[in-house]
Chains A and B, each alone.
Chain A
Amino acid sequence: MGRSAGILYLLLALAALCLPWLGIYPVFLMKLLCFAMFACAYNLLLGYGRMLSFGHAAFFGFAAYVTSWLVTAHGAGPAAAILSGAAVAALLGAVFGGLAIRRHGIYFAMITLALGQLVYFVCLEAPFTGGENGLQGVPRGTLLGLLPLRSDLVMYYLVLAVFVAVFLFIRRVVHSPFGHVLRAIRENETRAISLGYDINRYKLLAFVLSAALSGLAGSLNALVLGFATLSDVQQSASGEVILMTLLGGTGTFFGPVVGAAIVITLQEYLSDLVGGWVTAIIGVIFVACVLSFRRGIVGELEALRVRRAVSRAAGARAAGTDRLTTR
């Protein structure tokens, strides 16, 4: 971690600690953090593995159902319910990932889309999901018998802690030998194979990790809002997480967080202004993003910084050679 980046993250963490005291609605902040977590998990797959999944809502939404069902029907505690949600998402990810990595690129996208739709129909028709209504009135409970999560503030700090842990974990994964191999596969699959890597194992592990963390985000989100509904497993939710990642910057650490913040804020406040046009506006952002800033906001900023540094270095070098030649 660079020194300036470290300071920036520290400031951001401080700001996140203070935000609920500044009069910002904590539930909104928690929802934002959950989706930021979801986008970061998604980015692990798209940004570092270049696998475009169109079915990630399945992990987010199904985990939300599992958590809500365990809490409402079996009286499970929040910790157990959240972890079970993430575990089921990981399992689902192992199955879907195992199928999807048999094909590449666009086929991968279409397969994940179809499998995601499968989960949607299962959630629509399975006996434990409450059909069109979803599962409502999920109590937050008391974390490990100590922390009463009913208080928005306590819940907020829990979500923030989990988010920071997930964020740092993803950083760690990307910088680990595993992350390096994953990026090598992204850049040149054939070469990675010829270097002796079992690329399918790496891709599958990345998929499972991403699914598990998406599930964690979904489970937390269900506890925050107190319900799990079909809109979390819908294809449009998969589209939203792609947009968040793309808009913020795929393959950057902080990009997905920025993207999630923008999309969630837009949805929350834009819908008052423009009503039902939100879907169309999101579509326009998608198109604009693909056409004009494919690196995303954070990615473009980083590219700008690199360009500046390079030109400054080149300028310094040019000045140096000037002095040499005039002497």
Chain B
Amino acid sequence: MSTILGMPVPVLLGQLTLGLVNGSFYALLSLGLAVIFGLMGVVNFAHGAFYTLGAFAALLGLQYLGINYWFALLFAPLAVGLIGVIVERLLLRHLYGLDPLYGLLLTFGLALIVQGALHQVFGASGQSYPVPPSLAGALNLHFMFLPLYRAWVILASVVVCFSTWFVIERTRLGATLRAATENAPLLQAFGVNVPLLVAATYGGGVALAALAGVLASPVVLVNSHMGTELVIVVFAVVVIGGMGSILGAIVSGLLLGLVEGFTKVIYPEASNIVVFVIMALVLILRPAGLFGRE
């Protein structure tokens, strides 16, 4: 059997696909963060909490309502997106025009509420969500076995990411959204309902996080703090990619997942910190981020 870096090729490729799976989550989350920040100037610290809520929505939907995985993919983002809209209308709305740091602090508080409440109700230990039967098993690619579910996660998030990119950059709705980013009062003067647009955008960004949560639920343990550490990594990804560009968010998300997977192979102790180290390097060499403009 051939080896690379003293590692059998299938093992290496297995770690790399796992890295890409994580990268898919980074991409989905940083995409939502970038969209929300672009329009509202709010860094959504609660993004990890909404990701967790998405996973819990899928889990509880299965346990209590018998909603299967495929419906959960639709139902959880819708439900969590609705919560997002309510949060925006009730709370975030009051902070527009203030220092963006207040948005960060408010959503940090929200994240604590969600995480604390879930922890208290469902306990610290995680619960597993079954892999849907149609995606169980693995593909034999001859040079490696590719678990079907991992392939599905990567495929699904890439498709969702690029559809979102397409909607924002190439459709009329996206053009309106970008116009609101540039000059909201002017757009409102043209008769566009900007507050509705903002609420919908926040809901949409949060729904993406919830979708990532549903996709993640069969590969990680569903627990109250699954989003807490993830959101910190995603913030680092955003610093690396630069928040100005949607494509940048997607590409750097996937790329960093891959790098993390690779680090797990060659130097496992550093796999938790490699993204942060890369962030520090990028800050030294290119402070605006890889795809950013300042």
Q: Which residues of A contact B (CB under 8 A)?
A: 52, 99, 102-103, 105-107, 109-111, 113-115, 117-118, 121-122, 124-125, 235-236, 239, 242, 246, 275-287, 289-291, 294
A291, B94: Cβ atoms under 8 Å?
A: yes
Q: Report if B1 contacts A (CB, 8 A).
A: no
B276, A115: Cβ atoms under 8 Å?
A: yes
Residues of B within 8 A of A115 (CB): 276, 280
29 example contacts (A-B, Cβ-Cβ < 8 A) are as follows A52-B105, A99-B280, A102-B283, A102-B287, A103-B283, A106-B100, A106-B101, A109-B104, A114-B276, A115-B280, A117-B232, A117-B233, A118-B276, A121-B273, A122-B273, A235-B228, A242-B108, A246-B105, A275-B120, A277-B116, A279-B115, A280-B116, A280-B120, A283-B111, A283-B114, A284-B113, A287-B110, A290-B106, A291-B91
Least CB distance, B140 to chain A, in whole angstroms: 36
Stretch at the interface among B12-20, B209-217, B235-243: B235-243
A283, B112: Cβ atoms under 8 Å?
A: yes
Residues of B within 8 A of A105 (CB): 99-101
Complex partner residue of A103 from B110, B239, B277, CB under 8 angstroms: B239
Q: Which chain B residue lies CB-closest to A126?
A: B269
B238, A283: Cβ atoms under 8 Å?
A: no
Residues A107 and B105 in contact in the complex (CB < 8 Å), given A114-B279, A280-B116: no
B113, A287: Cβ atoms under 8 Å?
A: yes
Q: Which residues of B contact A (CB under 8 A)?
A: 37, 43, 91, 94-95, 98-102, 104-106, 108-117, 119-120, 228-229, 232-233, 235-236, 238-239, 243, 269, 272-273, 275-277, 279-280, 283-284, 287
Residues of B within 8 A of A99 (CB): 280, 283-284
Q: Which chain A residue lies CB-closest to B95?
A: A290
How long is the Cα–Cα vector from A137 to B230 in the complex, in angstroms? 33
Residues A111 and B112 in contact in the complex (CB < 8 Å), given A121-B272, A277-B120, A291-B106: no
Tell me what chain A mostly uses at the interface: helix, strand, loop, or mixed. helix
How long is the Cα–Cα vector from A55 to B233 in the complex, in angstroms? 13
Least CB distance, A101 to chain B, in whole angstroms: 10
How long is the Cα–Cα vector from A290 to B229 in the complex, in angstroms? 23
Residues of B within 8 A of A103 (CB): 239, 283, 287
How long is the Cα–Cα vector from A121 to B120 in the complex, in angstroms? 25
Residues of A within 8 A of B235 (CB): 110, 113-114
Residues of B within 8 A of A277 (CB): 116-117, 120
Sample of 7 more A-B contacts, CB < 8 Å, known A276-B116, A284-B113, A287-B109: A111-B283, A114-B279, A117-B229, A277-B116, A277-B117, A279-B112, A286-B105
- Max chain B C-beta neighbours (<10 A), residue from A106, A278, A282: A106
Residues of B within 8 A of A106 (CB): 37, 43, 100-101, 104
Residues of B within 8 A of A284 (CB): 109, 113
Residues A279 and B119 in contact in the complex (CB < 8 Å), given A110-B238, A114-B235, A290-B102: yes
How long is the Cα–Cα vector from A86 to B201 in the complex, in angstroms? 45
How long is the Cα–Cα vector from A4 to B119 in the complex, in angstroms? 47
How long is the Cα–Cα vector from A294 to B97 in the complex, in angstroms? 14
Least CB distance, B225 to chain A, in whole angstroms: 10
Which are the 7 A-B pairs with shortest beta-carbon distances? A286-B109, A279-B116, A283-B112, A280-B116, A283-B113, A114-B236, A287-B109
How long is the Cα–Cα vector from A18 to B158 in the complex, in angstroms? 65
Residues of B within 8 A of A239 (CB): 108, 112
- Max chain A C-beta neighbours (<10 A), residue from B99, B106, B108: B108
Least CB distance, B86 to chain A, in whole angstroms: 14
Residues of A within 8 A of B105 (CB): 52, 242, 246, 286, 290
Residues A280 and B232 in contact in the complex (CB < 8 Å), given A105-B100, A125-B269: no
